[in-house]
Chain A
């Protein structure tokens, strides 16, 4: 049984707690970041450390990080969009696809004044920062990570086929593929069940055949796919690559099976992102056996996509949100983050030491290119992406003729309401 003193103490504690709760207003400098629960736990730990370091540097400020799985995150953002609650900063992909939807729905605050105030363009990799300019009405978001995609090749298989150097032009690549075919080696491996994997091949061929401006206009659906001969040519070229220069069968396997086939030496090349270096290293592969080169499109643009952090239009503290993003992007924080969130920082002032040769090659690639073209599933709205996947798969399976492919895609685009 409690004594009177104990009862009084308990009552006092409860009263104090109630008083404290009722008297504490929501701090104006509280900010919330909604992001993903990353598979790479080092990224989760690093994010929490950044938040606590920022709080220490800005007394009275509290940064709450809410992490969710991909689908839950998307759903939470949609629910938040319909209410006045939500995060100050949210993670999403860059581009007109998924990230663009939130921008279009008015969920993303233009950040032009913060770009000027914090001089973000002086510290960001141009290729990573370019995505902020995709939207009308100002700059949206800042880069969180930037992923480049290029051709990984098996050096031994290249040697076996008599290929002496990395292809510099599209014609060189075609010649290399032909040599590989003559040597009985499939040039590429893809996984067809995950539509986006084969889509990469179509994207790079479209860039090659149509050039940068036309490619962008096609992806932005500003020109007619049936009236641009290059689009039909790209589908025809894509059909040729999937028929003649791709490890068969590929429509029934996924990207992971495709990766296993690549590391088993069943195909000479794979069109993958910079993250594959870590994957190869982690699986015990000898990195010296592999080389990389950007898919030669002859347009001087790098194939890639970015993940961004956006400031919400519903944020009560946009200034503090921008300050936090500035802290995140700062040279010091990004230097400390190397290898934890991504192998390559979005900050161009970061110094890299003890890099593996493939990582160093990637860094050179990132520094070389200032323009990017993005993956089809990031560029198109979601419904068009789904149809783009279907048509690509039909062409790859030989069920739809290239001219008809362009016609079907345009017909779908035209019928959108």
Chain B
């Protein structure tokens, strides 16, 4: 095959077009990722010229001696489970409501989506003031209603701090799920809905037997994206509590950052990142396989 023929081959052309993106991906994503994996087997404080190979010592340390790792792990699991339930459910309810022909529907959609485009650190700052036990919005409201006994140290009590942060997270992310569900709802066949109604199905039966099955691909996407987003939870926790009080709201992503960039133990920070990477991959790979299969079936 001549050079001319080769360059006219669609596969070669596709490859040539992919090269710039591949190079950028390799330099800015693949290399750092591999470097983190190597770093997780090394001891390095960012100061020494040489990185010392320590085998699995960083992993042993985080699994057996780190007093915060398992707290962060548990919190990440709790956070992820809550992320699977509350923002998607809230998003679905909002989408079902705002899919009706009601007055101001578009404005309401925009209002509920607005928090998604606000920087998480700004959201954190806003909620931090609302949670202030002395001057905050919630404390003032409860005081004005004569419910002082209900005022809590929302971010300072380790029993409720994680959930307080999560409420702010729901407020920020529910709009994203809502938009996806709204898009999904546009694919629900009106013909099927009408047919079900003619057959005597009530609103709940229509939702259960027509709308919900049609939303199944959207639900999967929302849940997977919610898991990925929750595993990466960092900025809102950092901004609201910094992982405190007493590391009780610490998350794996934040703890990896703390170890590497504040304690300057890059090896342990990398080891925590690798653990997080493995957990994320365990979720993402089945999702990618599922979408591939789905695309193949559709094509």
Residue A412 at the chain B interface, CB threshold 8 Å: yes
Nearest-Cβ distance from residue A56 to partner chain B, whole angstroms: 36
Which residues 148-193 of B have a CB within 8 angstroms of A? 152-158, 161
Complex CA gap A394/B68 in Å reads: 13
Least CB distance from B97 to A in Å reads 34
Interchain nearest-CB distance for B247 vs A (Å): 5
Is B98 interfacial (CB-CB < 8 Å)?
A: no
Residues of A close to B152: CB separation below 8 A: 249
Asked if B47 and A252 sit within 8 Å, CB to CB, the answer is: no
Chain A residue nearest in CB terms to B71? A390
Q: Are A193 and B156 in contact (CB under 8 A)?
A: yes
Contacts of A298 in B (CB 8 A): none
Question: Do the beta carbons of B158 and A399 come within 8 Å of each other?
Answer: yes
The reply to whether A390 and B264 contact each other, CB–CB distance below 8 Å, is: no
Binds B, one of A27-35, A109-117, A379-387: A379-387
A257 in the interface (beta carbon within 8 A): yes
Bound: A30/B68 CA distance, A: 47
**In the complex, chain A residues 385-413 whose Cβ is within 8 Å of any chain B Cβ:** 386-387, 389-391, 393-394, 397, 399, 408, 412
CB contact list, B241-298 vs A, under 8 A: 241-242, 244-247, 258, 261-265
> Interface digits, B52-96 against A, CB 8 Å rule (1 contact, 0 not)?
000001000100010110000000000000000000000000000
Q: CA of A101 to CA of B265 in the docked complex: distance in angstroms? A: 12
- Decide if B133 touches A253 in the complex (CB within 8 Å): yes
**Complex contacts, B65 vs chain A, CB 8 Å:** 412, 415
Q: How far is the CA of A249 from the CA of B154 in the complex (A)?
A: 10
Q: How far in angstroms is the closest Cβ of chain A from B266?
A: 10
B134, CB-defined interface residue at 8 Å = yes
Name B34-52 residues within 8 Å CB distance of A.
Answer: 43, 45-49
Residue-wise, chain A 49-85 has the 8 Å CB interface mask toward B (1 for contact) of: 0000000000000000000000100000010011000
Cβ distance A184 to chain B, nearest Cβ, rounded Å: 16
Interchain CB contact (< 8 A) of B67 among A194, A252, A393, A412: A412
* Contact B158 A249, beta carbon cutoff 8 Å: no
Query: Which residue of chain B has its CB nearest to the CB of A98?
Result: B264
Residue A6 lies at the interface, judged by CB distance under 8 Å to chain B: no
Which residues of chain A are near B245, meaning CB under 8 Å?
192-193, 251-252, 393, 397
- Cα-based distance from A253 to B45 in the complex (angstroms): 32
Q: Please give me the residue from chain B that is nearest to A107 by CB atom.
A: B47
| Residue in B161, B247, B262 whose beta carbon sits within 8 Å of that of A252 in the complex | B161
Q: Which residues of A contact B48 (CB under 8 A)?
A: 81-82, 105
Interface residues of A, dominant DSSP: helix
**Known A-B contacts A78-B264, A102-B47; A417 and B258 likewise in contact (beta carbons under 8 Å):** no
Instruction: Determine the main DSSP class of B at the interface with A.
Output: loop
A261 within 8 A of B: yes
Q: Decide yes or no whether B235 CB sits under 8 A from chain A.
A: no
B244 touches A382 (CB 8 A): no
Q: How far is the CB of B250 from chain A (nearest CB, A)?
A: 9
A350 to chain B, nearest CB (A): 35
A355 vs B47: C-alpha distance when bound (angstroms): 43
- A195 on the B face (CB < 8 A): yes
Most chain B CB within a 10 A radius of its CB, from A193, A260, A266, A412: A193
Chain B residues contacting A257 (CB-CB under 8 Å) are 132, 134-135
In the complex, the chain A residue whose C-beta lies closest to that of B58 is: A417
The one of B134, B153, B265 that contacts A251, using a Cβ cutoff of 8 Å: B153
How far is A182 from B219 in the complex, measured between Cα atoms in Å?
59
Distance to closest chain B CB from A382 (angstroms): 5
Residues of A near B234 (CB, < 8 A) are none
Q: State whether A382 touches B262 (Cβ < 8 A).
A: yes
Instruction: Specify which of B134, B157, B265 is in contact with A253 (CB 8 Å cutoff).
Output: B134
- Determine if A417 and B57 form an interchain contact, defined as CB atoms under 8 angstroms apart: yes
Contacts of A248 in B (CB 8 A): 153
CB <8 Å contact, B241 and A193: yes
Contact residues of B with A, CB < 8 Å?
43, 45-49, 57, 61, 65, 67-68, 131-135, 152-158, 161, 241-242, 244-247, 258, 261-265
Provide 25 A-B residue pairs closer than 8 Å at the C-beta atoms, listed in order of the A residue: A78-B46, A81-B47, A82-B49, A102-B47, A105-B47, A193-B156, A193-B244, A193-B245, A195-B244, A249-B152, A249-B156, A251-B153, A251-B155, A252-B131, A252-B153, A252-B155, A252-B157, A253-B156, A257-B134, A260-B135, A386-B258, A386-B263, A408-B67, A412-B65, A417-B57
Please list the 5 inter-chain residue pairs (A to B) with the smallest Cβ-Cβ separation, ordered nearest first: A252-B156, A251-B156, A249-B153, A393-B246, A252-B155
